[in-house]
Amino acid sequence: MTATPISSNPLQFHAPRQLTVLRQWVLWRPHEGRKCPFQLSGRFAKTTDPSTWAPYNTVLHEWQAHPRRWSGIGYVFTEDDPFTGIDLDDCLTNHTLRPWVRPIIDRLSDTYLEISPSGNGLKAFVVGTPASEARFALGDGAVEIYSKARYFTVTGHAFNGAPFVLEEHNDTLAWLLAQAPRGNSVAFQVSGRIPYGTRHHTLTSLAGTIALRGCTVSNILALLASIRDERLDGPYVTNDQLQKIAENAVRWAAQRLPRDRPASTPSRTPVITHRT
C-alpha cells in the first residue's frame, strides 16, 4: 500500500504538556529508510543516552528554523517517566480505521492518539507500565509497545479530535499483550551497552545463533537494527553493514544444519570478514 505522508507545520505544532515539560526530545529525519533520531548538533541521538536529548522548546525551535533539514521531532521513553507508547502500524486506509484496530481505539479514546508520519498508522501515548515490551502482528497490521529506550516521532496530528492528555491505561496494556499470537517474540533485549571493541563479535554471534533457528535475513536484520539503535556504542553502523552480517550468518547456518548439529547449539560463531 502506498503511504500517504503527513506533513507537520512546525509553526503551528502542538503536543501534550505532560511530554513537553520533560527534557526527552530529539529531532528526526529519514536515514537509510529509517526514521533516525538526531541531536541538535546534527549527530545521531541515542535512546539510552540522555546527554543526546534536549528540551522540547529547544528542539522545536531548531525544527522551526530548519524545516528542510529535519522532518520533525520525537519523544524518548525512559524508565524514569510513567509513559508508554503504542504503535499501531498499517491500521488506517484513507484515514479510516481498519477492522482489527477498532477495538483497540475504543479502549484508547480518552488518551492522546495521533496519526503517524506515513499517514497509515497511529501512535497512542498512555500512562502505564507494560509487563513486557512487545512487537507482534495483528490483523493485517502490527502492534508495538515500548516504555523505555525507544523514541516515537510526534506529528501533533491528533486522530479524530483525540485529547492532548495522556491517561492511565495499564489495563489496556495488559489486554493488548494478551492479543499477541502464541510463540510471538517479545522485543529483543540486550543487557547493558555494547562497547565499540566488542560490537562485531556480539552482532555476529547473535546473528549466527538465530540463523540456526531458521530466521531469515530480514528477521535477523530487524533484530540487529533494534540492537544497534538501543545498545551500540561507537560510530553508527549502517543498514548495509547489518545486511552483510545477516546474509553471512544465514549462509553459515545453511552449511551447518545439514550436518545434524542441534539447531540450538552452534559449534562456533560465524566468521565474518566485514568489520563494523
Place of cell 503517524: 116
- Give the residue among 93, 117, 120, 122 at the shortest CA–CA distance from 105: 122
pLDDT exceeds 80 at position 51: yes
**Model pLDDT for residues 70-111, shown as the tens digit of each residue:** 999 999 999 999 999 999 999 999 889 999 999 999 999 999
Instruction: Give the integer Cα–Cα distance in Å for 58 and 244.
Output: 38
User: What integer pLDDT is reported at residue 37 of this predicted model?
Assistant: 95
Q: What is the reported pLDDT for 273?
A: 42
91 touches 121 (CB < 8 A): yes
Q: Is the pLDDT of residue 249 over 80?
A: yes
0.75 exceeded by pTM: no
